Amino acid sequence: MQETVTNEKEVKWWQTAVVYQIYPRSFQDSDGDGIGDLRGIINRIDYLKKLGITAIWLSPVYKSPNDDNGYDISDYEDIMDEFGTMADMEELLDKANEAGIKIVMDLVVNHTSDEHKWFIEAKKSRDNEYRDYYIWRDPVNGGVPNGLGSIFSGPAWEWDEASGQYFLHLFSRRQPDLNWENPKVRQEVYDMMNFWLDKGVGGFRMDVIDLVGKIPDQEITGNGPKLHEYLQEMNRKTFGSHDVLTVGETWGATPEIAKLYSDPARNELSMVFQFEHVMLDQQEGKDKWDLKPLNIAELKSVLAKWQTSLGNQGWNSLFWNNHDLPRIVSRWGNDKEFHDQSAKMFAVLLHMMKGTPYIYQGEEIGMTNCPVSSIDEVEDIEAVNMYHDRLAKGYAVEDIMTSINAKGRDNARTPMQWDDSNNGGFTTGKPWLHVNANYTSINVKQNLDNPDSIFYTYQRLIKLRQENPIVVWGDFELIEHTAEEVFAYYRIYEGEKWLVAANMTAKENVFAADDRVMEIIMSNYNRTEIDVANLTMKPYEAFAVKVQG
Ligand code: NOJ
């Protein structure tokens, strides 16, 4: 890969990287307790190397009582017992670095666990030195201070009988929010980040970072007035002097807001995760559980907008999946008769765009959503709380379960399917969450044995990015005049032009562009000839071709 771009700007490693997200609890168990662990990850580094990724985003591995599977941290400088020890973590860092893979840690600092020593202290009395690390308010008219709601259902205020005040929790009541207005809190966070930077981590994925500037009394949660001031301070005091990847989880970002985070001149973050595209299947003004069908025209315009609007004041992250989202192949693709084609189609469409792609574990082998028939099979606190909340509000159980099966987070959290042995080779014990029954046909082994598998599509896409500057740097141009269900675009770079097209449905669609194909780069139907002037695209067909510039 070239070291400089034409304008001689310094190239950052994360601009040419492909990141793989590991949800450790479900990746690989090595000791038979049914829970994935660090040793399991170490044992699979060769697999990740074979895929070709160069960075891992590691979901939280810190000490935690697991009210929200590690996103409730009780000690930021220690490892969760089920996952292993700090020595294992150091070994993972060493082995990954040796394999050319950086480890990006999950930084969860909007809140801690209620078992964190700061919160245990803070609860002791109103004048405890840690009291002000959290957000406490007196009752108003004998009830909650205001109408702020928790993202995990119910009010965001929890009553603390002993001290006679409420504390704020935007997530579960066991995840009290930190008070970022307190400079001591910020310094604690920076010290902890430096602890991890000293261990050689490759960066941070910042959990719900857009919430840390909240002003609870005005019911402002996202994008508070001091948010960017805090991030600039964080950059200065921690990673600013390191060559690392930082990516903020920002549900409320528009392109204008994204530039505030990722304009290099502002010294904040490398990039953000924006979620506009994955929220297109929810009803306007409602929450994620209120479903509506995807409108492909909207998807095209949202993604094209993000591709073209950041310019050199930002950098995109590219993703369909993560541990909070349903599997795209099931949600917007077709995980039955067109499983293989639709999984590959989503891969080609995304990986040929401009930005840093993220692959969520199992995506590269076509893992699917895993429907459940009753709430008893659900582990995730978000879905369980929503179930009870909606039940109390009079929703029908059937409708609630429809939402959970479409959007519930457990869908993407079922254990990694390594082979067709018991439990998909994830564990020799009882898995903490059911393994998807389709592990006998969808698994790593079967993918590796088949040269035409989804895995090899991902491997090839990663290689294309590593070997072709156009994939990293090329301008993006949406092709407007196509069938509504065909998503097509050009990438253009230094006289070279690639055309990428994807039919996003199970119906055939005609494609017609005024270009002459010079070379087929990729075709999920293994076509050896493509005439883009007149082509009937097959169900979920996708291709990338080099055309005359
Ligand atoms: C976003 C994380 O990705 C999600 O899994 C978690 O529940 C919330 N933030 C709270 O930390």
User: Are the beta carbons of 134 and 179 closer than 8 angstroms?
Assistant: yes
Q: Provide the token pair at 43.
A: 């044992």
CB atoms within 10 A of CB 492: 17
Residue 442 has pLDDT above 80, yes or no: yes
Residue 4 has pLDDT above 70, yes or no: no
pLDDT of residue 9: 60
Ligand 1: residue of 105, 152, 208, 273 to mutate (most ligand atoms within 8 A of CB) is: 208
Q: Please give the distance, rounded to the nearest whole angstrom, from the Cα atom of residue 413 to the centre of ligand 1.
A: 13
Q: Which atom of ligand 1 is nearest to the CA of 152?
A: 7
User: Are the beta carbons of 264 and 15 closer than 8 angstroms?
Assistant: no
Q: What is the pLDDT of residues 321-361, one digit of tens each?
A: 999 999 999 999 999 999 999 999 999 999 999 999 999 99
Q: Please give the distance, rounded to the nearest whole angstrom, from the Cα atom of residue 367 to the centre of ligand 1.
A: 21
Q: What is the pLDDT of residues 288-305, one digit of tens each?
A: 999 999 999 999 999 999
Instruction: Output helix, strand, coil percentages for the chain, rounded to the nearest 5.
Output: 35, 20, 45
Rounded CA gap, 497 and 473, in Å?
12
Q: What is the pLDDT of residues 242-287, one digit of tens each?
A: 999 999 999 999 999 999 999 999 999 999 999 999 999 999 999 9
Q: Where does ligand 1 bind, in terms of residues with CB under 6 Å?
A: 68, 71, 108, 171, 207-208, 249, 323-324
With a pLDDT cut of 90, the percent of the chain lying above it is 98
Q: Which atom of ligand 1 is nearest to the CA of 68?
A: 7
Task: Report which of 187, 177, 179, 267 is spatially closest to residue 229, judged by C-alpha positions.
Answer: 267
User: What residues are paired with 111 via a beta bridge?
Assistant: 177
Catalytic positions: 207, 249
Nearest alpha carbon, ligand 1 atom 6: 71
Kindly compute the dihedral angle of the four CA atoms of residues 461, 463, 469, 470, in this order, to the nearest 10 degrees: -20
Q: Please give the distance, rounded to the nearest whole angstrom, from the Cα atom of residue 107 to the centre of ligand 1.
A: 11
Ligand 1: residue of 105, 106, 108, 206 to mutate (most ligand atoms within 8 A of CB) is: 108
Higher pLDDT: 5 or 75? It is 75
Ligand 1: residue of 73, 207, 214, 379 to mutate (most ligand atoms within 8 A of CB) is: 207
Q: Please give the distance, rounded to the nearest whole angstrom, from the Cα atom of residue 70 to the centre of ligand 1.
A: 9
What is the full DSSP assignment across 254-283? Answer: -HHHHHHHH-GGG-S-SEEE--TGGGTTB-
Q: Which atom of ligand 1 is nearest to the CA of 381?
A: 7
Rounded CA gap, 256 and 276, in Å?
13
Q: What is the pLDDT of residues 123-175, one digit of tens each?
A: 999 999 999 999 999 999 999 999 999 999 999 999 999 999 999 999 999 99
pLDDT of residue 540: 98
As a whole number, mean pLDDT of residues 447-451 equals 98
As a whole number, mean pLDDT of residues 237-245 equals 98
Q: Please give the distance, rounded to the nearest whole angstrom, from the Cα atom of residue 141 to the centre of ligand 1.
A: 32
User: Are the beta carbons of 482 and 514 closer than 8 angstroms?
Assistant: no
Residue 2 confidence class, pLDDT cut points 50, 70, 90? very low
Task: Report which of 315, 277, 304, 318 is spatially closest to residue 479, judged by C-alpha positions.
Answer: 304
Residue 3 has pLDDT above 50, yes or no: no
pLDDT of residue 549: 80
As a whole number, mean pLDDT of residues 510-535 equals 97
**Helix/strand/coil (H, E, C) string of 441-457?**
CCCHHHHHHCCCCHHHH
Rounded CA gap, 129 and 209, in Å?
25
With a pLDDT cut of 70, the percent of the chain lying above it is 98
Share the mean pLDDT of the chain. Answer: 97
Rounded CA gap, 319 and 276, in Å?
11
Rounded CA gap, 152 and 144, in Å?
17
Distances (CA, A) of 506 to 151, 327, 497: 35, 18, 28
Q: Which atom of ligand 1 is nearest to the CA of 59?
A: 3
| pTM for this model (two decimals) | 0.97
pLDDT of residue 10: 80
